[in-house]
C-alpha cells in the first residue's frame, strides 16, 4: 500500500479498512520525525513494533540495562565499562528507569531471573535483545555443539563407552578451569571418572549437568595456576551476522597476548556467525588456534552475560550501537 495519507481522510479511512480486513488490530503510533505517513507493525513475542514507512524510524528505543557491582562496604563500584557504555547508548542501572517500547540489551543484568525480566519488560511493550529461548540455546553446549560439529570438539553427555584418549570435563555452561589438573583435564581414559566426580562436588556445575569433550591441543602461550594452559584464544562479540569486536581471551594474562585475531581466524568466525545468527541475536564466540593449525570454537556465550576479556569496550559498544541503529531503521 503505497498511498500517502497527506492529510486526506479518505486515504486514511481506506488504509484502516484494508488493515482491518487483513485481521489487523487498531494501533496508532506517530513517527517522532513527524512524517505523518503509514507505519508497518510487526509482532514479536507479544511485543508490537512499529516502523515508519517513510523514514524507517521505530517505536523501539535501544537501551542498556547495566548491573554494576557493589563492594563489601556497600559502595557502588562503577566500572570503566559502565562509563564507556554510556557514551554510545542510553544506559540504566535499574529496571524502573527503563523507558517503554524499549529494545533492552542487558549487561550482566539478566540472570538469575531471565524469564521474570522478560515478562516484566513485555508489560511495557519492551523486550530483551536475546529472547529467553535464544539465551538458552547459547548457554547450553548440548543445544549448539551439533550445529557447530565441524568446528568444535566432539561433546558427550554419556561416557560409558568412550575409548582411550584425552578429554576435558565441564558443566553445560561453566567450567572449573582454574582447577585444571583435577576438575577439567583428563590425561587418559582411566582418570575420567575421578575428574567427573571431583567436578560433581561443585553444586553449580552439578545443577547444569556435566559434559565430556574431546581434548584438542591448542597453541600454547603460557601456563596459569594448577596447570591451566593459556592458549591463543580470542573472544568475539557478534550481533546477528556482524562481528562487533574481538580481543585476546585471557585478560589476566594480557602480557601473553598473541595480538589481533588473524585474517584466517576472521574467515573461520564468519562461518560460525552464519550458523549462530539463525539462532540468537547477541552472542560471543570464543575461538582458539589449534596446535596442529587452524581454528576451533571453544564455546558460545550470551552477549548479555559475557565479560569483555581484552575486547576494547569502545569498539564493542560503538559497533553494537551502530548495528542496532541500522536494524531499527531497516
Ligand atoms: N576441548 C578442549 N580442548 C582443549 N582445551 C580446551 C577444550 N575446551 C576448553 N579448553 C580450554 O579450557 C578453557 C576453559 O574452557 P571453557 O569451555 O571456555 O570453560 P568456561 O565456560 O569456564 O570458560 C578454554 O578457554 C580453553 O583454553
Ligand atoms: Mg570460556
Ligand atoms: Zn518517519
Give residues with Cβ within 8 angstroms of 262, minimum separation 6.
Answer: none
Q: What is the CATH number of the domain that holds 87?
A: 3.40.50
- On whether residue 3 sits in a domain, the answer given is no
What integer best gives the mean pLDDT of the chain? 91
Q: What is the DSSP letter of 279?
A: T
C-alpha cell read off for 233 = 584464544
Does 2 map to a domain? no
Q: Considering its fold, how many domains does the chain have in total?
A: 4
- Does 26 fall in a domain? yes
pTM of the model: 0.89
Tell me the CB-side half-sphere exposure of residue 308, using CA atoms within 13 A.
18
178 and 117 co-located in one domain: no
In-domain check, residue 172: yes
Contact 204, 245 (CB under 8 A): no
Compute the distance from residue 298 Cα to the ligand 1 centre, in Å: 6
What is the per-residue pLDDT across 204-249, written as a single tens digit (0 to 9) for each?
Answer: 999 999 999 999 999 999 999 999 999 999 999 999 999 999 999 9
* Pair 222, 253: CB distance under 8 Å: yes
Find the Cα–Cα–Cα–Cα dihedral 312, 172, 129, 278, rounded to 10°: 100
Claim to verify: residue 237 and residue 263 sit in the same structural domain: yes
Q: In b/e form, how buried is each residue of 294-319, taking b as 16+ CB within 10 angstroms? A: ebbbbbbbbbbbbebbbbebeebbbb
Per-residue confidence band for 26, with pLDDT thresholds at 50, 70 and 90: low
List, as one string, the DSSP characters of 127-186: EESS-HHHHHHHH-HHHHTTTTTTTS--EES--TT--SS-EEEEESS---GGGHHHHTEE
User: 142, 229, 294, 298: which to mutate for ligand 1, most atoms within 8 A of CB?
Assistant: 298
Q: How confident is the model at residue 6 (pLDDT cuts 50, 70, 90)?
A: low
Q: Please check whether residue 233 lies inside any domain of the structure.
A: yes
User: Is residue 68 one of the residues assigned to a domain?
Assistant: yes
Q: Which grid cell sits at 108?
A: 550482566
Beta carbon of 211 within 6 Å of any ligand 1 atom: no
Please write the tens of the pLDDT for every residue from 65-105. Answer: 999 887 788 777 768 899 999 999 999 999 999 999 999 99
Q: What was the pLDDT predicted at 5?
A: 66
- Structural domain harbouring 32: 9-52
Report, as an integer, the average pLDDT of 307-314. Answer: 96
Q: Residues of the chain with pLDDT > 90: what percent? A: 75
**Residue 1 pLDDT class (50, 70, 90 cuts):** very low
Question: Do 321 and 227 fall within a single domain?
Answer: yes
Q: Is 116 a member of any domain?
A: yes
Q: Which atom of ligand 1 is nearest to the CA of 177?
A: 14
Amino acid at each position: 500500500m503505497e498511498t500517502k495519507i497527506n492529510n486526506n481522510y479518505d486515504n486514511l479511512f481506506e488504509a484502516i479498512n484494508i488493515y482491518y480486513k487483513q485481521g489487523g488490530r487498531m494501533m496508532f503510533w506517530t513517527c517522532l520525525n513527524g512524517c505523518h505517513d503509514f507505519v508497518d507493525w510487526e509482532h514479536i513475542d507479544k511485543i508490537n513494533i512499529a516502523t515508519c514507512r517513510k523514514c524507517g524510524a521505530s517505536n523501539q528505543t535501544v537501551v542498556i540495562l547495566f548491573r554494576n557491582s557493589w563492594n563489601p562496604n556497600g559502595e557502588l563500584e562503577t566500572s570503566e565499562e559502565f562509563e564507556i557504555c554510556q557514551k554510545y547508548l542510553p544506559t540504566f542501572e535499574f529496571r524502573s528507569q527503563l523507558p517503554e517500547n524499549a529494545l533492552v540489551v542487558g549487561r550482566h543484568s539478566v540472570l538469575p531471573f531471565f524469564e521474570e525480566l522478560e515478562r516484566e519488560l513485555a508489560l511495557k511493550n519492551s523486550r530483551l535483545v536475546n529472547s529467553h529461548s535464544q539465551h538458552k540455546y547459547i548457554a547450553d553446549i548440548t543445544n549448539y555443539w551439533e550445529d557447530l560439529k565441524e568446528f568444535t570438539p566432539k561433546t558427550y553427555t554419556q561416557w560409558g563407552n568412550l575409548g582411550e584418549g584425552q578429554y576435558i570435563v565441564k558443566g553445560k555452561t561453566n567450567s572449573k578451569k582454574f582447577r585444571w589438573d583435577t576438575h577439567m583435564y583428563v590425561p587418559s581414559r582411566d582418570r575420567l571418572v575421578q575428574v567427573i566426580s571431583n567436578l560433581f562436588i561443585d553444586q553449580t556445575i552439578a545443577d547444569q549437568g556435566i559434559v565430556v569433550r574431546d581434548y584438542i591441543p591448542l597453541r600454547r602461550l603460557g601456563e596459569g595456576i594448577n596447570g591451566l594452559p593459556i592458549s591463543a584464544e580470542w573472544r568475539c562479540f557478534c550481533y546477528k551476522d556482524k562481528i562487533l569486536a574481538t580481543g585476546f581471551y585471557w585478560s589476566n594474562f594480557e602480557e601473553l597476548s598473541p595480538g589481533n585475531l588473524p585474517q584466517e581466524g576472521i574467515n573461520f568466525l564468519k562461518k560460525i556467525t552464519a550458523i549462530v545468527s539463525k539462532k540468537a541475536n547477541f552472542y560471543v564466540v570464543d575461538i582458539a588456534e589449534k596446535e596442529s593449525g587452524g581454528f576451533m570454537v571453544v564455546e558460545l556465550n550470551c552477549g548479555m552475560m559475557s565479560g569483555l576479556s581484552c575486547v576494547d569496550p569502545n569498539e564493542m559498544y560503538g559497533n553494537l550501537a551502530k548495528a542496532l541503529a541500522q536494524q531499527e531503521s531497516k
